[in-house]
Chain A
Amino acid sequence: MAEAVRFEEVFPDLYRLAYRVSFRVLGDRGDAEDVAQETLARTHLRWARLRDSPHGWVVTVATHLAIDRLRRRSRATESGGEPVALVEAHLSERIDIARALGRLPRRQREVVVLRYLADWPELEVADALGCSPGTVKSHASRGLAHLRHQLEERGIRGGRDVRASG
């Protein structure tokens, strides 16, 4: 029987994954580090259940935490507070992406997040979500179309760059 994977062994990879996803949403290093740490802390608490396949869970939690934080930041900015973040590149685009993701049906959102926010191949997304590659392709196509439509309405680069690959 294979020895169970220890959290510490895969911690660097999982942290990089959570950070990349968080940064794509937040655009701020400090916030992305916070979200990655929170994600990994939660992962650690559930390690006995997650250790065989933690990556999808990490991406999902990091995305949700990042979107929540972006919403709070957006609300604070709108209410007149000065944002702490020093890096605000593509902020409006990030906010629109977060909003657009939030409006996708759950399964489409899961597929789009894993496939395009985390850059996973279709086969791995299918494996993580327990569905067929064909289902992934279908959800990805519809999700992308939905996302592209919303982003293009706002003239966002991410909208123009959307390609239904693979």
Chain B
Amino acid sequence: MFEHLDDPSPPEPSARTLGAVLARAAHLRRRRVVSAMGAVAVGALSLGVVIGAVASGPTTSQTFAAFDSQTGLLALGTPVPSTDLASVVFVGDLRGFALAVHSTQTVLAVSTDGGGSWTVADPSLPMSFPAQFEFSDAVHGYLWGGPPSSTGIVPLWITANGGRTWTRAGVGPVVSDVSAIGPDVWAVVGTCPISSSAGASCPVLVEISTDNGQTWAQPGAAPPLREDSEVSVSDENIEMARITPSRAYVLSFASRAPAPAAAGSLTYTADGGRTWGSRADPCPSYFDFGEQIAASGTEDLWMVCASQASAGSQAKALYRSSDGGEHWSLAAAANAPVLTGGRVLPSGGGLSSEGYVTPYSLAHENLAVLTTKDAWLFPDRSGVFETTDGGHTWGVVAGLDKSGLVDGGSGNVVFVDATHGWVCEAGSGLWRTTNGKDWERLGP
């Protein structure tokens, strides 16, 4: 009866599809906080099995088979295929850490050759994918942001031995974002456990540790941020951009689509968190579904604002500030009026409406800014875009496409300096540049 309405060539579900579904499920779960945590954790952690089942190409399949055929906890040092990596961080041009999934476990993998090969450093992390993590050096690391406990707690876990063992940090109850510069670690903390229904508006604190996360204190006044306990503290709607050891910005926004609403809140400190001031969030209504902030220096800020997403498209806007957020100017926009209540920003450049910058991104870092001119953007379900003119025009990174990056995936892009960067596409693989221009695919 309705066969004539069918898609003649429907897309086949892939590992990335499953990854996106599980990330959405985790996002929904955070909002609902049901007590049975096992389903999400087990489902998310099982990503690798399905990735292996659906990955294409004999080499990849064989690698997956070898990895996935091992049962139980993986032994330390077990090789991890790059196609199993979910997200990566690097602490230099050679040493990196990655989250991977194996059976029902979330695994920490380590590389000492710039991402060419990976081995298991911890076969069973205390927090499950999609967690966030960061390392400040080869031994000190931080893990947070996974699914909340049945009581709405999202703890921070720290390691002082390269990820082999983890201890729970004395900060909480809900750790939303973490930034470490040397032993100096900052955590954005929600003061109310995540609840299953709209509750009191809760203060947001920034707590600081000067000893690699061992002890924590609040240095001064709390930033002027409050979050609804149901909505955004603990999930991906709050983000810290730490520019120097003493200067940081905390961005808070809520996905309120489709209703227009005030933009998010942006606060900053320039004195190590003793005092906080407010800055205007430049994102206009309808462009505040997903926001990302990044900086290349103490005064140079980039803010990507994104609308509700649909049909593979999303209206986006890029605002720049050269005075630490005092003033903002529109650098480029991509319009999808149906997603912005008809509001159209001057395009003025080449941002793509392709792909999503969303709170439920599989990876949480879609924007990497290196200088006042150079940046990369990796929206979900899209390719990787780069700019070399301060964000006015953007183009697809052709070298990645040519070397096998699948257009339509999800992942993260990270740089440790002006020339060394990595793109991790979950379920697809890992790419590296050593000159900031040319990209090579790494590992099996």
| A residues neighboring B (CB under 8 Å) | 6-8, 11-12, 15-16, 19-20, 23-24, 27-34, 37-38, 40-42, 44-45, 47-48, 69, 72-73, 76-77, 79-86, 90, 93-94, 97, 116-117, 157-158, 161-163
Considering only residues 32-54 of chain B, those with a C-beta below 8 Å from chain A are: 32, 34, 36, 39-40, 43, 46, 49-50, 54
Please give, as numbers and ranges, the residues of chain B lying within 8 Å of A29 by CB-CB distance: 7, 11, 311-312
Cβ-based interface call for B336 (8 A): yes
Report B53-78 residues with CB < 8 Å from chain A CB: 54
* Cβ–Cβ < 8 Å partners of A6 in chain B: 46
Chain B interface residue count, CB cutoff 8 Å, equals 43
Cβ distance A35 to chain B, nearest Cβ, rounded Å: 10
Q: Is B296 an interface residue (CB 8 A)?
A: no
> Is B261 an interface position by the 8 A CB rule?
no
Contact A45–B32 (Cβ < 8 Å): yes
Max count, chain A CB within 10 A of own CB: residue among B17, B29, B54: B17
B153 contacts the other chain (CB 8 A): no
Q: Point out the residues of chain A lying under 8 angstroms from B29, CB to CB.
A: 45
Q: In the complex the two chains form, is B43's CB within 8 Å of A8's CB?
A: yes
Are B25 and A79 in touch, CB under 8 angstroms?
A: no
Residues in chain A near residue B339, CB distance under 8 A: 84
Asked if A37 and B337 sit within 8 Å, CB to CB, the answer is: no
Given contacts A23-B6, A34-B310, 10 further A-B contacts (CB under 8 A): A15-B13, A23-B5, A34-B311, A40-B21, A47-B39, A76-B338, A80-B342, A81-B341, A116-B1, A117-B2
**Contact A45 to B342, CB < 8 A, known contacts A20-B6, A37-B24, A84-B313:** no
**Contact partner of B5 among A24, A83, A163, CB < 8 A?**
A24
A84 touches B49 (CB 8 A): no
Contacts of B40 in A (CB 8 A): 44-45
- Taken together as a complex, chains A and B put the C-alpha atoms of A15 and B24 apart, in Å, by 14
Q: Could you jot down 27 A-B contacts, CB within 8 Å?
A: A6-B46, A11-B18, A12-B12, A16-B10, A20-B6, A23-B6, A28-B311, A30-B311, A34-B309, A34-B311, A44-B25, A44-B43, A47-B39, A48-B39, A69-B310, A72-B258, A80-B342, A81-B338, A81-B342, A82-B337, A83-B338, A84-B310, A85-B311, A90-B5, A97-B2, A116-B1, A163-B1
Spell out B's residues near A (CB within 8 Å): 1-2, 4-7, 10-13, 17-18, 20-22, 24-25, 27-29, 32, 34, 36, 39-40, 43, 46, 49-50, 54, 258, 309-313, 336-339, 341-342, 353
A38 to B32: give the CA distance in the assembly, Å.
Answer: 15
B54 / chain A contacts, CB cutoff of 8 Å: 12
Provide the bound-state CA to CA distance between A34 and B46, in Å.
Answer: 22
Given contacts A15-B17, A84-B339, A162-B1, contact A30 B28 (CB under 8 A): no
Q: Provide the residues of chain B in CB contact with A7, threshold 8 Å.
A: 39, 43
A137 to chain B, nearest CB (A): 15
B-side contacts of A34, CB under 8 Å = 309-311
- B338 close to A82 (CB less than 8 A): yes
Q: What's the Cα separation between A52 and B17 when bound, in Å?
A: 23
Interchain CB contact under 8 A, A23 and B311: no
Contact of A45 among B34, B46, B312, B353 (CB under 8 A): B34
With CB as the reference atom, state the residue of chain B lying closest to A163: B1
* With A32-B7, A41-B25, A45-B25 as contacts: A84 and B13 at CB distance below 8 Å: no
Cβ contact of A158, chosen from B1, B6, B258, B336, cutoff 8 A: B1
Which residues of chain B have C-beta atoms less than 8 A from A86's C-beta?
A: 311
Bound CA–CA A99/B191 (angstroms): 45
Q: Nearest residue in A to B314 (C-beta to C-beta)?
A: A84
**Nearest neighbor of A46 in chain B, beta-carbon distance:** B39
Set of chain B residues within 8 Å of A161, measured between Cβ atoms: 1, 4
User: CB-CB < 8 A to B39: which residues of A?
Assistant: 7, 44-45, 47-48
Please list the 5 inter-chain residue pairs (A to B) with the smallest Cβ-Cβ separation, ordered nearest first. A30-B311, A30-B312, A41-B24, A81-B338, A15-B13
